[in-house]
Amino acid sequence: MLKKNLRIVAIIIGIPVCLILIALVIGIITDVITTPAIKAKGDSALKELISLRKEGKDNAWNYYSQAIALMKEKTFPTDINKYLRGEIGITDEIIVSLKTNKDVIILMEKGAVQPYCSMPIEYEKGIEMPLPEFVVLQKCIKIHAAQALSALEIGITNDGLLKILHGLNSGKHIISGSPFLLTHMVGLVTIGRHLHVLESGIATGIFDRQQLETTSHYLAELERTLPSLLWSLEGEIKTINISLAAKPLNYESLLAMEVIEGSIFHDIGLRIWMWRYLFSPRLATLNAIKTWDDMIATLHISAKGKEGSTEYDIIIARHVTKEKMQKYCGNNPISRLFMPNLEPMFKRKSRVLAKARLIRCAALVWKYRIENGTFPGSLKEINSDAIKDPFRGGTWDYVMTKHSFELKSPGYNLVYDDDDDLSITLNKGTVREYLSAKKKN
Classify 423 as helix, strand or coil: strand
Nearest to 352 by CA among 202, 173, 192, 185: 192
CA 413 to chain centre: 19
Q: Which pTM does this prediction carry?
A: 0.87
Q: Are 375 and 352 in contact (CB under 8 A)?
A: no
How many alpha carbons fall within 13 Å on the CB side of residue 147? 27
Rounded CA-CA distance 308/240 in Å is 33
Helix (H) or strand (E) holding 94: helix 92-100
- The domain segmentation of the chain, as residue ranges, is 2-51+247-340, 61-231+346-440
Q: Give pLDDT tens digits along the chain (441 positions).
A: 556 666 666 667 777 778 878 888 888 888 888 888 888 988 999 999 999 999 999 999 999 999 999 999 988 888 999 999 999 999 999 999 999 999 999 999 999 999 999 999 999 988 888 889 999 999 999 999 999 999 999 999 999 999 999 999 999 999 999 999 899 999 999 999 999 999 999 999 999 999 999 999 999 999 888 888 778 888 888 888 888 787 654 544 444 434 444 567 777 777 888 888 888 888 888 887 777 777 666 665 544 444 444 444 445 445 555 666 666 666 677 766 666 666 778 788 888 989 999 999 999 999 999 999 999 999 999 989 999 988 887 899 998 887 889 999 988 777 887 778 899 999 988 998 888 887 766
381: which residues sit within 8 A by CB, 6+ positions away?
368
